Structure 1
Amino acid sequence: MNRPAEPRSCTSLADTENRWLGRVVRFALLIFALRVLYLILDNPYELAGDEAQYWDWSRRIDWSYYSKGPGIAWLIGLSTRLFGHEAWAVRFPAAVSGSLTILACGWMTARLGHGQPRAPFYAAVMAAFAPFLFATSQFMTIDAPFFAAWAIAAAIALRILTTSRSTLWLWCALGITVGVGVLLKYTMLLLIPGLVIGFVSACRLRPGLRLGRSGPLLAVVLALVTMLPIAIWNQMNGWPTVAHLLGHLGAPGGDLEPARRWFYNPLWTLEAVAVQMLLIAPGISLLVILALRRVSFVDDPTRSGIRLLTWMAWPVFGLYFLVSFATNVEANWPAAGWITLIPVAAVGLPTRLCSPGYNPWKFGWHAILTIAVIAAPLILFGPHLMRAPGVHLLPFHGAIEKGLQRVSRSEEEALCVAEIQQRIAEETGLDPFIVGAHYGRAALIAYYHPGHPVVFSGASALGDRESSYDYFADTSLEREDLLGRPAILIGTQPRKWVTGLVFERIEALPDHRDISVGYGYLGTTESFDER
């Protein structure tokens, strides 16, 4: 007669969990190594406008910048000073950040416990191949390091909740990590209400839990100290970042003209919800819903940990849901909330995957894997795949081609501008300067031009909103040493340029659709009128 299997000892279970956590570490390192090799050897994408802009910021290290904190520029500046200014070096911090997010999600899942040793590896796979995390680990925007800071802060908070030892140093680490996250993206502030509600909820669930006062107070102080660079820069420049953020919402006091009356398109809200559920985190959203339905049946400390991670997600979702009633919400704005929900989704997976029959848990996991198999090659090799025979017949071909234009052809244009610049210098005997009609265009020319020159942005002079280029001393179009010189004007037609900049004459180049040459620069329209 077969005897029932004896339950594993606590030591055996802990050893198994440690082995699976070790697999998470090896998996994260493997993803990192493959990502770096890909960036160096076969990355088909040129820098996007935002990436080039942040690279240009990194050449002017400052306390902060007009639209963002200084974190992104500091990271790129460190990487390019170590490895040079190649595209892979600009994007290297994104690859590091992606693997840190994988590690943090795996560790949080292991910390939740619940006797499911494979759960951390499932969480690591989700963190590696969820489309929004996979894509952001490839491009050096603010999102990849911001997601890493969000994940690490959540992991530290979970450790505070689930440890019986002194947590003062953990509170210090939490405060600094939150501050670093704000230096990267102001959305990090939305983690704070989730932390507060989550800790309060945990204390109610576990009456014996005492978090103390000195730890949280020290965390707040250190977070504020870490965020000081932003306040210092804004104080020196009249708080333009506040105006920029208000401008995004169309609110009074913003850097854009506020809407005269409120207008709401229901598609904004429907699209915001659908994109998050179906594109940003497909499959994960289903697993989270299933897991949260079982929270009340889970023993502590897993239940309080799950609630803490869940509460950290809701403020960012809630705010951008409300924002969708005022404007169209970009897909990446609330995406950070999914990071703390990945461990919640993973905790319920192992036993459910082994259960007989086909159930919603298996459907959610298979959806994650299916999307990963489809999305990963498209994200990695999109430009190559778009050149395959017959692809032009696909219904979404035009939309993809339009998207790929944002990460292609900039090097070709910059080399063309360099040739025009040299020709105009020989013709006039003067050194032409370069002006882009948009900050992204200006930054891309600066990056791909062989000499990495200073390139000016004419956006605000042309009536658009300001950018960091309006606050750098060397990119001011009011510089006296520019007067009398010719300029290469990129991004719009002469009839638009004359509304913001004054030249003796402007000539469009017949062989180039939106490149003109201005001769005899006299200043911006505003400064010229004042004279």
Structure 2
Amino acid sequence: MRPEAGAPGRRLAIAAILLLTAFRVITLWFDRTELYTDEAQYWFWGQDLAFGAFSKPPLIGWLIRAMTELFGQTEFAVRLVAPLLHGITALLVLALGLRIASDRVAGFAALSYATLPAVALGSALVSTDTPLLACIAAGLLMQHVLAARALRGQGAPLLAVTLGLVLGLGFLAKYAMVYAMAGMVAAALVSRDWRIRRADLGIAALVFAATIAPNLWWVAAHGFVTAKHLAADAEWAGPKLDALRGLKFMAEQFAVMGPVLFGAWLLALVTPGRGSGALRGLLAASALVLGIVVVQAVTSRALANWGVGFVIAGCLVAAARLERAPLLRALSLALGLALSLALPILKIEGTTLRLPNGQLMLDRYLGRAEVSQRAIALAQQNGAGVILSADRELLADLSWQVRAGGPEVFAAPFDGAPRHHWDLTRPYPGGTAPVVLLAKGDQPPTCRPGTAPLLVDHWTAGPGFAEGRAFTLSLLPADCLVPAP
């Protein structure tokens, strides 16, 4: 098929996606922000290449490890996987759109995905949502291909193997992949265009189970710590219905997907019309994914990005609804492109910009290295080979800052269940040499009777994530520390 006259056809869409991806990679090279806590934590997970991690599955750590092995231990390499994967995902959306709709719809859906607010942000930093979305897009594409074969009475066992592997990798990216899989089932229930043969389904299920088995084993071997963390993160304490939380979550999706696209998706949900069977299936898939998280928001809590898996199917549904609305399509792309261009430039040129209240606009991505380097300097000046902290935020950046060599970083002694990955995998093993303890606040640590800190330094953090907040550095004898309750 040729691109339709006046429509962003496949060639134009591919060229635009490649150009935008190149822009994101180039600007990432000049990015002046520091790694956020989660980014440094994911990098740290990749140092061990284990089958699991404290709070999430391990795939993001593996991907970052691959990038840093190829391109070095830099912020650029840690984040590089993000724009590359989002570019691939946009091409997968295009491929799926070309199977179920016109060039106009497919091209607009792919460009819409590439310029979504969530994708613009997700391309400037690394998160577990990025590989999740790539796997969802690949899974839906393969499901549709398998279903088309099934309509002709044909099986495709090799493709079924690939589908199972992609679904398994999605699960290893983020456990929210199960929401997307539920959506895929919903699509098959609504439309034959998504139903695959039982034999292919069985093959995919077996491969999926084999792919996720090592992670399930790791979680079980570590006392189901990940499941406990997820339950605590959701703040589940019995059903306490709050419709306002659900409405707030839905309102936040205008920022996740963009106002025009999410508005079009809502219109399609309210008035589904007589679209193709494939599009009806995608509407059901996206609605179920979002609906699951809405229920979670109403009964406990849900962050805005927890339902982000709905945007793959949602972009295609919205694009089809906007097919005959050129002005709205242009407005949607203009808004998305403006944000996609502005955000990387902001991270280069806007590190000193402040909000009206005086807060740095990018404060969460600044000032961490200064705190960590102060602790490292104290350790090196006093011959301490170990830096301890109880705080995940501090441990993440300390681990990143000593990547090229320096004091070892461990979690401070603690009585109770692990609170983060360092408690689980890097507890302080003890020793005889003095250690440095980095802590938030201005209270010196409590030492065992008969011991006392050798040196205590209080200071107030400068511009960045903790501007104006107190920190304490302590040089401690090895037998000083008492495990915190």
Q: Scaled by the length of structure 2, what TM-score is found?
A: 0.87
1:365 Cα deviation (Å)? Answer: 4.7
1:183: Cα distance to partner? 0.4
Amino acid at match of 1:270: L
Distance 1:418 1:505, change over 3 A: closer
Task: Point out where structure 2 has 5 or more consecutive residues left out of the alignment.
Answer: 461-469
Q: 1:51: Cα distance to partner?
A: 0.4
- Distance apart, 1:501 and its partner CA: 12
The one-character-per-residue Cα deviations of 1:71-98 (angstroms, maximum 9, x if unpaired) are 0111111111111101111111112111
After superposition, the C-alpha distances for 1:322-343 in whole angstroms (9 at most, x for unaligned) are 1212433211111121221101
In the other structure, the counterpart of 2:438 is 489
Q: CA 1:321 to 1:210, structure 2 compared with 1: closer, same or farther past 3 Å?
A: closer
Q: Given the alignment, which residue of 408, 415, 427 partners 1:454? A: 408
CA contact (8 A) 2:390 2:439 kept: yes
Provide the residue aligned with 1:480 in structure 2: 430
1:329-340, aligned counterparts within 5 Å? 329-340=302-313
Q: Percent identity?
A: 22
Aligned mates of 1:48, 1:100 — CA distance in 2: 24
Select 1:250's aligned residue among 222, 235, 259: 235
Residue 498 in structure 1 maps to residue 484 in structure 2: no
Aligned to 2:263: 286
CA deviation map 1:97-140 (0-9, x unaligned): 11111111111211112xx3222221122111110011112211
Report the Cα distance in structure 1 between the residues aligned to 2:19 and 2:416, rounded to whole angstroms: 48
* Structure 1 CA distance for aligned equivalents of residues 169 and 480 of structure 2: 40
Q: Which of 247, 250, 255 does residue 270 from structure 1 map onto?
A: 247
* Residue matched to 1:357: none
Q: How does 1:118-137 map to 2 (within 5 A)?
A: 118-137=104-123
Q: Which residue of 2 aligns with 1:349?
A: 322
CA distance in structure 2 between the partners assigned to 1:287 and 1:364 by the alignment: 10
Q: What is the rounded CA distance, in whole Å, between the counterparts of 1:218 and 1:501 in structure 2?
A: 63
Q: Is the 2:378–2:436 Cα contact (8 Å) retained in structure 1? A: no
Aligned mate of 2:72, from 81, 84, 97: 84
Q: Does 1:187 align with 2:141?
A: no
User: Residue 46 of structure 1: which of 17, 31, 34 is its match?
Assistant: 34
Q: Given that residues 131 and 376 in structure 1 are in contact (C-alpha distance below 8 angstroms), is that contact kept between their aligned partners in structure 2?
A: no
**How many positions carry a matched residue from both structures?**
470
Q: Whose radius of gyration is greater, 1 or 2?
A: 1
Note if contact 2:60-2:128 (Cα within 8 Å) is conserved in structure 1.
yes
Is 1:227 equivalent to 2:192 in the alignment? Answer: no
CA distance in 2, matches of 1:501, 1:377: 56
Going from structure 1 to structure 2, the CA distance change for 1:95 and 1:452 (only over 3 Å counts) comes to farther
Relative distance call for 1:370 and 1:24 in structure 2 (3 A) is closer
Q: Tell me which of 469, 473, 477 is aligned to 1:520.
A: 477
SS at match of 1:67: coil
Q: Which residue of 2 aligns with 1:16?
A: 3
Q: Equivalents in 2 of 1:144, 1:104: separation in Å?
A: 13
Task: Give, in angstroms, the shift of residue 382 of structure 1.
Answer: 4.7
- The answer to whether structure 1 residue 444 and structure 2 residue 431 are counterparts is no
1:509 partner letter: D
Equivalent AA in structure 2 for residue 487 of structure 1: V
* Shift, 1:526, TM fit: 4.6
Deviations 1:497-525 (A, max 9, x none): 43999963264314453132142132753
Secondary structure of 1:418's counterpart equals helix
Q: Secondary structure at the match of 2:434?
A: coil
- The whole-number CA distance in structure 2 between the counterparts of 1:435 and 1:91 is 27
Q: State which of 300, 306, 331 in structure 2 corresponds to 1:366.
A: 331
Q: Using the alignment, how far apart are the partners of 2:43 and 2:450 within structure 1?
A: 29
For residues 335 and 109 of structure 2, what CA distance do their matches in structure 1 show? 16
Structure 1 position 509 matched with structure 2 position 457: yes
Return the alpha-carbon distance in structure 2 between the equivalents of residues 25 and 503 of structure 1: 66
Tell me the SS of whatever aligns to 1:88: helix
Distance 1:262 1:523, change over 3 A: farther
Query: Distance between the aligned counterparts of 1:284 and 1:500, measured in 2?
Result: 60
In the other structure, the counterpart of 2:349 is 384
Q: Quick one: structure 1 residues 510 and 491, their matched pair in 2 at CA, closer, same or farther if it must change by over 3 Å? A: closer
CA distance in structure 2 between the partners assigned to 1:35 and 1:407 by the alignment: 18
User: CA–CA distance in 2 between the matches of 1:28 and 1:452?
Assistant: 41
Question: Retained in 2: the 8 A contact 1:55–1:76?
Answer: yes
Return the match for 2:126 from 140, 159, 162. Answer: 140
**Quick check: 1:493–1:515 contact (8 Å CA) kept in 2?**
yes
CA 1:351–1:319: 2 relative to 1, 3 Å: closer
Q: Cα 1:263–1:505, aligned 2, differ >3 Å: closer, same or farther? A: farther
SS of residue in 2 equivalent to 1:480? coil
User: How far apart, CA to CA, are the structure 2 residues paired with 1:350 and 1:196?
Assistant: 27
Q: Tell me how far 1:189 sits from its aligned partner.
A: 0.9
What displacement does 1:493 show?
A: 3.5
Deviation of 1:151 (Å): 1.6
Q: 1:462 to 1:501 in 2, by over 3 A?
A: farther
Counterpart check, 1:237 vs 2:202? no
Counterpart of 1:417 in structure 2 is: 375
Asked if the contact 1:435–1:456 (Cα under 8 Å) also holds between the matched residues in 2, the reply is yes
Q: 1:348 to 1:317 in 2, by over 3 A?
A: closer
Asked if the contact 1:484–1:522 (Cα under 8 Å) also holds between the matched residues in 2, the reply is no
User: Which residue identity is paired with 2:369?
Assistant: E
- 5+ long unaligned stretches in structure 1: 1-13, 252-258, 354-361, 426-430
